[in-house]
Amino acid sequence: MADTHSPVLARLDPQGCLVEGDARLLDLNAAAGGALGKPLSLPELSTLASLALRLRVPIARTIDLADGDIDLRMAVRLVPDEQGVRIEGGRWQAAMPPAPTDTATVAWGLGAAGSAGSWTVDGALRLTRIGADLTAPEPDGAAHLLGAPVTQLFRLEPDTDGGLPMLAGVAAVAAFSGQRAVLRATGQAMLLSGRSLTDAVGRFAGIEGVAEPVPDAADQVPEADAAASPLAIAERLERALRVPLRRIIANADSIGEQSDGPIRSEYAAYARDIATAGRHLIGLVEDLAQVQTIDSPDFQLVVEPVDLAELGRRAAGLLSVRAEAGQVRIDAPTPGDRVDAQGDYRRVLQILVNLIGNAVRYSPPGASVWVRLERDGPNACVIVADQGKGIAVEDQARIFEKFERVDPAEPGGSGLGLYIARRLARAMGGDIVVDSAPGQGARFTLTLRAA
């Protein structure tokens, strides 16, 4: 049932045709050449409706529509249901330029004038509009990212205090500025700013933002210094390879899916193999850059209390699709479990995703992977156990070294995952050990100081 504060403006059928609408919207649609029973002729609303139908999730944002010489603005919510899409809204009002009450609003206003790439997300932080300046160098630009989380367009980076200004703006339903980010498609460093949108009853409904490129810090390092810094070399390598590899993957995926028409089945299979190899190379490049980071002398982590049970459940959830595809069951901690430890939330999650992912990869169909918790004196532990083929004693130390794997002939990762995981664990004052025997599966135990 629609919110009583948000009247229904219009209804569309599953094909996007206008079934009914209020008088003002019908007039606007008619002025744009539309009519009842025909596709909605208001482009911004039509695009959002198509997105809501495709994703099967509600979308909320503020739209501007032209009524003669007047620009009208309204916060709308598009809700897909069995009959199509229900468009809810508040009251039409004349659109006014944002008042420059703070630096974030000023930055947004300048960006709206064209000095930076614009982007918009809905109340779930999913992309609903991507400016031309932010599109990837692909045939479809960034259209494939519409409906995806904003973090697939930008990699958000914390400020000097470790905070994320954009999320702070979301939490406060306010404007923000100074959010550091990297445009994933190109590796370009960006500075994000924007303002929160609200619906008719004041709830958070999305963000209208801009992204301004900032000079590439790596390009400002003198060549002599860059040559002497392995970390700088790794970062340059990652930037140089990421874009062409992503182009290869996107084109190979398109060929493999036969998007432009049917091709011979063996060619489609070759294209899928190319895409898989490209993803493996991107993973390797990212692992190499991460190894350089954690091996640097000044690498350290800030630890704080974390709930290992919650992290175990989250890691299991992230790997649920992969496990289902391999017919493997993940037995994660139950919602009532809780074990507190000292660690870096993001890094502990990274370790558990690696350990559980390895267990799923090397488990046969029908097997189970267990994620268990325990306290051992002053320590808190997460145990990841599988029913795979196990690891010989003589290999158990070797698998934690760089580029080492039990069987290099098997499909898998780069041989850096366990090395990175153990280095991260030790940087948090903990460790990772393995207990295994051939034919008896493996038990990897992450140990951290109890909180």
Q: Between 408 and 30, where is the model more confident?
A: 30
pLDDT for residue 370 is more than 90? yes
- Predicted pLDDT at 382: 96
The yes-or-no answer to whether 8-94 and 103-214 have a common fold is: yes
- Predicted pLDDT at 359: 94
Give the count of alpha carbons within 13 A of 201, CB side only.
Answer: 8
Find the range with the poorest average confidence among 121-125, 209-213, 245-249, 318-322. 245-249
How far lies 120's CA from each of 61, 91, 246, in Å?
8, 21, 24
How far lies 242's CA from each of 219, 282, 289, in Å?
17, 7, 12
* 8-94: CATH topology: Beta-Lactamase (3.30.450)
Give every CB contact of residue 398 below 8 A, 6+ residues apart in sequence: 404
pLDDT for residue 226 is more than 50? no
Tell me the C-alpha distance between 421 and 409, whole Å: 22
Find tokens 């509009």 and name the residue: 129
Q: How confident is the model at residue 13 (pLDDT cuts 50, 70, 90)?
A: very high
Cβ atoms of 391 and 384 within 8 Å: the answer is no
Which of 99-103, 160-164, 307-311, 343-347 ranks highest by mean pLDDT? 307-311
Q: How confident is the model at residue 116 (pLDDT cuts 50, 70, 90)?
A: very low
Which of 26-35, 83-92, 434-443 ranks highest by mean pLDDT? 434-443
Architecture of domain 304-449: 2-Layer Sandwich (3.30)
Q: How confident is the model at residue 281 (pLDDT cuts 50, 70, 90)?
A: confident
Phi, psi values for residue 54, rounded to 5°:
-70, -40
Find the range with the poorest average confidence among 108-122, 135-149, 295-309. 108-122
pLDDT for residue 157 is more than 80? yes
Find tokens 């070759």 and name the residue: 270
Q: Where are the domains of the chain?
A: 8-94, 103-214, 219-295, 304-449
CATH number belonging to domain 103-214: 3.30.450.20
Q: Between 143 and 447, where is the model more confident?
A: 447
At 16, the amino acid letter reads G
pLDDT for residue 224 is more than 70? no
Tell me the C-alpha distance between 80 and 92, whole Å: 22
pLDDT for residue 101 is more than 70? no
* Sheet containing 188-198, strands listed edge to edge, beginning at the edge strand earlier in sequence: 127-130, 117-122, 204-213, 188-198, 176-183, 154-157
Joined together, the tokens standing for residue 137 give 């160098």
- Predicted pLDDT at 203: 73
- Predicted pLDDT at 313: 93
- Predicted pLDDT at 220: 42
Q: Between 363 and 175, where is the model more confident?
A: 363
- Predicted pLDDT at 161: 65
Q: Over the chain, what is the mean pLDDT?
A: 78
pLDDT in tens, 378-401: 999 999 999 999 999 999 999 998
How far lies 278's CA from each of 200, 241, 260, 268, 321, in Å?
46, 10, 21, 15, 21
| pLDDT (average), residues 329-339 | 93
Q: How confident is the model at residue 410 (pLDDT cuts 50, 70, 90)?
A: low
Closest CA to 360 of 278, 421, 442, 448: 442
| pLDDT (average), residues 355-376 | 94
Which of 27-36, 66-75, 250-259, 410-419 ranks highest by mean pLDDT? 27-36
Percent of the chain whose predicted confidence (pLDDT) is above 70: 78
Percent of the chain whose predicted confidence (pLDDT) is above 90: 24
Phi, psi values for residue 318, rounded to 5°:
-65, -25
pLDDT for residue 149 is more than 60? yes
- Predicted pLDDT at 103: 34
Q: How confident is the model at residue 368 (pLDDT cuts 50, 70, 90)?
A: very high
Cβ atoms of 205 and 62 within 8 Å: the answer is yes
pLDDT for residue 118 is more than 50? yes
- Predicted pLDDT at 444: 97
Find the range with the poorest average confidence among 81-95, 110-124, 375-389, 422-436. 110-124
Burial state string for 6-17 with b = 16 or more CB within 10 A and e = fewer than 16: beebbbbeeebb
- Predicted pLDDT at 381: 96
